[in-house]
Structure 1
Amino acid sequence: MQEIRHTPIAPTRTQRLASGGEIDAHRHDDHQIAYAGKGAIAVTTDAGTWIAPATRALWIPAGTVHRHQAHGELELHLVGLPATENPLGLDRPAVIAVSPLLRELVVAYTRDPDDDSPARLRLCAVMLDQLAVSAGQPLHLPAPADPLLRELHDILRADPADNRSLGELGRQIGAGSRTLSRRLRDDLGLTYPQWRTQIRLHHALILLADDMPVTAVAHRCGWSSASTFIDVFRRTFGHTPGARPTV
Structure 2
Amino acid sequence: RVYGHSSVHTLGFAAHDVLLRSRAPVVVAVDALVRELIIACSEPSLPQQEARRLRAVLRDRLRRALVEPLTLPTPDNSLLRQACALVTGDLRQPRTAAWLARRVGVSERTLARLFRSEFGMTYPQWRTNVRVFHAMVLLAEGASVSETGRQCGWATTSAFIDTFGRTMGQTPGTYRIAPGG
Task: Report the TM-score when normalising by structure 1.
Answer: 0.67
Shift of 1:179: 1.1
1:146 aligns with 2:97: no
User: What residue in structure 2 maps to residue 204 of structure 1?
Assistant: 135
Q: 2:98 aligns to what?
A: 167
What secondary structure is seen at the aligned counterpart in 2 of 1:79?
A: coil
| Structure 1 Cα separation of the partners of residues 21 and 149 of structure 2 | 36
In the alignment, is residue 108 of structure 1 matched against residue 34 of structure 2?
A: no
Cα-to-partner distance string for 1:205-240 (whole Å, 9 max, x where unaligned) = 000001101111111101001111011111122221
Q: CA distance change for structure 1 residues 89 and 165 in 2, over 3 Å: closer, same or farther?
A: closer
CA distance in 2, matches of 1:107, 1:219: 34
Q: Deviations over 1:79-134 (max 9, x none)?
A: 11222222225321111222222111011111x23534211221111111111111
Q: Check if 1:93 corresponds to 2:25.
A: yes
User: Is the 2:38–2:58 Cα contact (8 Å) retained in structure 1?
Assistant: yes
Task: List structure 1 runs of 4+ shifted beyond 4 angstroms.
Answer: none
Match of 2:152 among 221, 226, 232: 221
Unmatched segments (≥5 aa) in structure 1: 1-68
- Which whole-Å deviations, capped at 9, do the CAs of 1:151-206 have from their partners, x for residues lacking one? 11122222222213222222222222221012112222222211111110010000
Query: Higher mean Cα deviation, 213-222 or 172-181?
Result: 172-181
Distance 2:22 2:160 in 1: 31
Structure with the higher fraction of residues in helix conformation:
2
Distance in 1 (CA, whole Å) between partners of 2:179 and 2:153 is 29
Equivalent residue runs for 1:174-193 within 5 Å: 174-193=105-124
Q: Which residue of structure 2 lines up, in the alignment, with residue 245 of structure 1?
A: 178
Structure that is richer in strand per residue: 1
Percentage of pairs with the same residue:
38
Give the deviation of 1:246 after TM superposition: 5.7
The number of equivalent residue pairs is: 178
Structure 1 counterpart of 2:10, from 78, 87, 95: 78
Work out whether residues 6 and 179 of structure 2, in 8 Å CA contact, stay in contact via their aligned partners in 1: no
Q: 1:175 to 1:201 in 2, by over 3 A?
A: same
Of 235-244 and 216-225, deviating more is 235-244
Which one-letter code corresponds to 2:9 in the other structure? H
SS at match of 2:3: strand
Residue 161 (structure 2) aligns with? 230
Take 1:206 and 1:120, find their aligned partners in 2: how far apart are those partners?
33
Q: Which residue identity is paired with 1:223?
A: W
Which amino acid letter does the alignment assign opposite residue 50 of structure 2? A
Unaligned runs of 5+ in 2: none
RMSD over aligned Cα, in angstroms?
Answer: 1.8
Which whole-Å deviations, capped at 9, do the CAs of 1:27-51 have from their partners, x for residues lacking one? Answer: xxxxxxxxxxxxxxxxxxxxxxxxx
Amino acid corresponding to residue 143 of structure 1 in structure 2: T
